[in-house]
Amino acid sequence: MEVRTRFAPSPTGFMHIGNLRTALYAYLYARANGGKFIIRIEDTDQGRYVEGAVDVIFNTLREAGIDYDEGPGKEVGGYPYVQSQRKDIYKKYAEELIAKGGAYYCFCKGRDMTDGGTQKYDKRCLRLSKEEVQERLARGDSYVVRQNIPETDGVSSYTDLVYGEISVAYKDMEDAVLLKSDGMPTYNFANVVDDHLMGITHVIRGNEYLSSTPKYNLIYDAFGWERPQYIHLPPIMKDKERKLSKRYGDANFDDFVKKGYLPKAIVNYIALLGWSPKNNEEMLSMDDLIKLFSVDGVCISPAIFDEAKLRWLNASYIKNMSVPEFISAARPFLDASKVGGKYDYELLAPLLIPRVEILSDIPTLVNFLEEFGEYDVNLFTHQKMKTDASVALSAIKAALPAIEKMEGWDMTELHDLLVATAEQAGMKKGQMLWSFRIAITGQASTPGGATEMAALLGKEECLRRLKFSMDLLSK
């Protein structure tokens, strides 16, 4: 049997982290088992439809490295993969389900037309005679189609591959609406019909569907269709009490990319939210994830989203980047900073790679190259090196004339010159280099040492800043 999984998002906004994890696990399971991964757009709730959201879904999947075998733009089998384009299909199967006794027409008005009331629907329309039903249909009366839950003391059970045996008593189920009065299906019906017609063998989704799956199975059984296997996933939590939720503005994939997280790092981290590989490794490429993914590693316990852990993982990815890879990823952040286009990114990149955790750190790390003015002279104080403002002033006064005499701007020559000048002035090498770096940057920490900063600034700018700092220290 060929494994076939699906991801069926609703186009209601951005791609939330929980949705992306569902897509990722369905993709990994299909790929790990040599199967097919299908995309289906569930847009039957037109009231919640957000213009452009479908593009967001596909852009996110593409950026995350998740490709698909069937779906919009890759149609197979002669039918659309967008639910709003499948209205006739649902009507056909709703009528077939009614004929089989698994559903019935309901003509009740108001609150009784849809789910959500405080009491279960009393099946009053199930008692209508066939003649009355046909008469009302012919008259054009508005109706919905409801599922016909058995009126016995039985239970509907299934085995979830993560949570084990799940059972729900018939008496605890509602005759849910399957087809709305506008002819559009509810999720209760559409997901069953679509999964069957698309040959889905493994349904992977959040554990909020654990208790509703038994009523979906009753639809499979009424049609005489084979049930798929189920893999329900634990929730992703904001903390111990609250779930991550797009309803409350919690993070989505695009938010993290805009913050400067690498898509590969985000996908890697999301994969570990509810699943762990047997080798316990944490940095995993998509190829690694495909090779290692199995249902055995999916946890029952909720996963807590820890942005500090994601930040650490992202920094690890950045440290492994080559200079060209880093510049390609960081260019939007470099260009948007105050040094954009003014400095050699090839010189900046090696300094930033070991120090950047997320790409949005870059402006803070490099803006000092353009922002230089009066600063706190206490920055020169370093207890271990016994350096303070007076020592720094002496260092600058000694170094300035020597630097002015340099014909070129070679960093090895500059370093040797600073070391020699320190020795001549009776101070330690560290005191000179510390003082020089602070004097040309005005910052306690920089993405590189004294000569690395000098290389970026150039000789004339270094001389200007040294003179400024000397005047500042002389006040």
Residues marked as catalytic: 246
Closest CA to 69 of 153, 11, 6, 122: 6
CB 204 within 8 A of CB 295: no
* Residue 4: closest CA among 148, 229, 201, 167: 201
How crowded is residue 75: how many other Cβ atoms within 10 Å of its Cβ? 12
CB burial of 364-391 (b: ≥16 within 10 Å; e: otherwise) equals ebbebbeebeebebebbbbeebebbbeb
Alpha-carbon distance of 156 to 210, in angstroms, equals: 12
| Angle between helix 411-424 and 429-441 (nearest 10) | 120
- The answer to whether residues 9 and 19 touch, using CB atoms and an 8 Å cutoff, is yes
- The CA–CA distances, whole Å, from 354 to 318, 320, 335 equal 8, 9, 20
CB-based contacts of 275: which residues, under 8 Å, 6+ apart? 25, 293, 297, 298, 299
Tokens of 294: 């199995």
Alpha-carbon span 111 to 394, nearest angstrom: 85
The Cα–Cα gap between 437 and 419 comes to: 13
